[in-house]
Amino acid sequence: MSKPTSRCAVRGSINTDEYFYVKSSVRTGETISSHRYERRVGGKGANQAIAIVKAGGVADFYGTIGADGLWVKKVVSEHGLDDSKIIVSDVPTGRAIIQIANNGENCIILFPGANHSKMHEEGWASRGPENKFPECSHILLQNEIHFESTLYALNNSRNATTIYNPSPMPSVDEIRGFPWNKVDWLIVNEGEAEDLYNALHEANSVRIAGSSPPEISRSHHELLVLLSAQPAFLTTNIICTLGKDGVLAFIPAFHRPKTAHETPSFMQLPAATLQGDVRDTTGAGDCFAGYFVQGLMEFGPHAKVGREISEQDLARILKTCVQAAGMCVERQGTIDSIPTRAEVDARMA
């Protein structure tokens, strides 16, 4: 008898990303020429769904484009992602206009376009109370679609394992009102962890009028101790990626202290050793997230951490993720630089 397979619903963004390489970014009133131009598929939803597929998993990608984005649909399907659930709406495809200056700094204009369409939710909502979200074992969300679409997925997630990468960060009010108890896995980078902590912590503390909080520089550990102690994250597993410093994870089932006097422990893994220089870090976080979800999915549709997935299993999953993300930064590009599972396994052998 074959094992039941996991499948991940990714409700997320898909973009046209346009890169303009310029001497220095354009200023008010100025017209400048760019010496190089590139057009790539982007959007964190599409990137992460492709990473799941390259990691060997099954992803159902629910995105929305405009009639101008048919080429984007074609490119994702060439990368192995099933494009049949991408809706073509009347609104133009989401778009990022990115200026890359000679000194490496960038400026970005983001137009959400069709990513903010709620056509998927309108279709699902009409199917009756038992079927308000498609069948899946896992749901992966970012924050480049309409906030209501993200809430819709979480509120109709039933027994699926939910993974949320809140990027870009929601507003402070959205963070404070968010149903964090519906998120099984939170994936954040260091800046996002800091923003989440600041938003949630200030909601729970009284600020003395006229005083501003001191600028504190915290270690990765200190930050995660503070974040994981927030009441919102009582049951949420937190994966915090640290760029060149690898990853730090807090799993309540393994790491929650038994008494108030104990400090929590964490799982920490260094970044992969690179072959060569860092070429392009775009997409590394998305590559990490996709590989992570497939790592969980390999334990079966209903596997839970602390039950079917042990602490050692999780360490192995994270090791594969840092290796995959490390290979992604060695290469130019976003979806093009996400390695296949065979490439990752070969590097780890």
**Which chain residues interact with ligand ADP by CB under 6 A?**
189, 241-244, 246-247, 271-272, 274, 278, 281, 284-285, 288, 322, 325-326, 329
Backbone angles phi, psi at 198, to 5 degrees: -60, -45
The site partner of 288 among Na ion, ligand ADP, none (C-beta below 5 to 8 Å per kind) is ligand ADP
Query: Binds 134, which of ligand ADP, Na ion, none (CB < 5 to 8 A, cut-off by type)?
Result: none
Residue placing its CB nearer to Na ion in the complex, 317 or 325? 325
As measured in angstroms, the least distance from the Cβ of 281 to ligand ADP is 5
Total Cβ atoms within 10 A of residue 68: 15
The β-bridge relationship of strands 138-141 and 8-11 is parallel
Shortest CB 278 distance to Na ion, Å: 9
Copy the structure tokens of residue 190: 């260091």
Instruction: For the segment 243-282, give every residue that binds Na ion (CB under 5 A).
Output: 280
Quote the least distance from Cβ 288 to ligand ADP, whole Å.
5
* Partner interacting with residue 325 (select from Na ion, ligand ADP, none; CB below 5-8 Å by kind): ligand ADP
Return the number of the residue (109 or 278) whose C-beta is nearest Na ion: 278
Beta carbon nearer to ligand ADP, 92 or 333: 333
Q: Which is nearer to ligand ADP, 134 or 166 (CB)?
A: 166
| Nearest by Cα to 283 from 238, 329, 243 | 329
Task: Answer whether 95's CB lies under 8 Å from 85's CB.
Answer: no
Examine residue 168 and say whether the peptide bond preceding it is cis (omega within 30 degrees of 0).
yes
Binding partner at 246 among ligand ADP, Na ion, none, C-beta below 5 to 8 Å by kind: ligand ADP
Please give the Cα distance from 90 to 210 (Å, whole number).
49
Q: By rule CB under 5 A, what count of residues binds Na ion? A: 4
* First-residue to last-residue Cα distance in the chain: 30
CB of residue 68 to ligand ADP, shortest distance in Å: 28
Cβ contacts of residue 151 below 8 Å, gap of 6+? 179
Question: Does residue 207 come out as left (phi exceeding 0), alpha (psi in the -120 to 50 range) or beta?
Answer: beta
For the bound state, the minimum distance from the C-beta of residue 50 to Na ion, rounded and expressed in Å, comes to 13
What the block records as the tokens of 95 is 């778009």
Phi, psi of 25 (to 5 degrees): -60, 150
Which residue sits closest to Na ion, CB atoms considered? 337
Q: Is 7 left (phi over 0), alpha (psi -120 to 50) or beta?
A: beta
Nearer to ligand ADP, 232 or 329 (CB): 329
**Which residue has 């070969």 as its token pair?**
346
47 binds Na ion (CB under 5 A): no
Q: Which is nearer to ligand ADP, 230 or 241 (CB)?
A: 241
Quick one: which of 186, 337, 339, 344 contacts Na ion (CB under 5 A)?
337
| Interaction site with Na ion (CB under 5 A) | 280, 283, 328, 337
